[in-house]
Amino acid sequence: MPRLICASADLVNGGMGVRFVVTRHGKEEPAFVIRYGDKPRAYLNRCAHVPVELDWQPGQFFDFSGVYLICTMHGALYAPESGRCVGGRCDRKGLLPLTVEERDGQILLVEENGKGV
């Protein structure tokens, strides 16, 4: 069964994200969801270069332009629609996506730990 992350209204295109936790391989890991291109997108909150959290302030995942996700430590840039590395020290590795959907005014986590929740 899908797990509630937040209300749809909590996410604005290119705006603040919502942090949450997922369980992967028996371990809790930080994750986040943002809205970009009118769709919710969720990823593990882990830079592809070094496993540090991306946000420079809780929920601040976008660069100042609101176009790219940015790692606060390295300045690596990621495409918000895919998590693909577009610049910096991420060596063309991307963010690990999580499956979410928007339904009835809510953002739901559909897949956790490699299987449906």
Q: Where are the domains of the chain?
A: 3-116
Check residue 18 and give its pLDDT.
98
Whole-angstrom Cα distance, residue 79 to residue 67? 8
Indicate if the pLDDT at residue 115 is higher than 70.
no
- DSSP-derived letter for residue 70 is E
| Sheet (strand 39-44) strand order | 18-24, 27-36, 39-44, 97-98
The pTM for the full model equals 0.92
Tell me what percent of the residues of the chain surpass a pLDDT of 90. Answer: 73
Indicate if the pLDDT at residue 57 is higher than 50.
yes
Indicate if the pLDDT at residue 32 is higher than 70.
yes
**CB < 8 Å & 24+ apart, contacts of 56-60:** 58/19, 59/16, 59/17, 59/18, 59/19, 59/32, 60/16, 60/17
Indicate if the pLDDT at residue 114 is higher than 70.
no
Whole-angstrom Cα distance, residue 18 to residue 113? 19
Alpha-carbon distance values, 11 to 27, 49, 117 (Å): 27, 27, 22
Under CATH, which number does the domain 3-116 receive? 2.102.10.10
C-beta atoms surrounding 13 within 10 Å: 13
Check residue 111 and give its pLDDT.
74
Check residue 117 and give its pLDDT.
45
Indicate if the pLDDT at residue 116 is higher than 50.
no
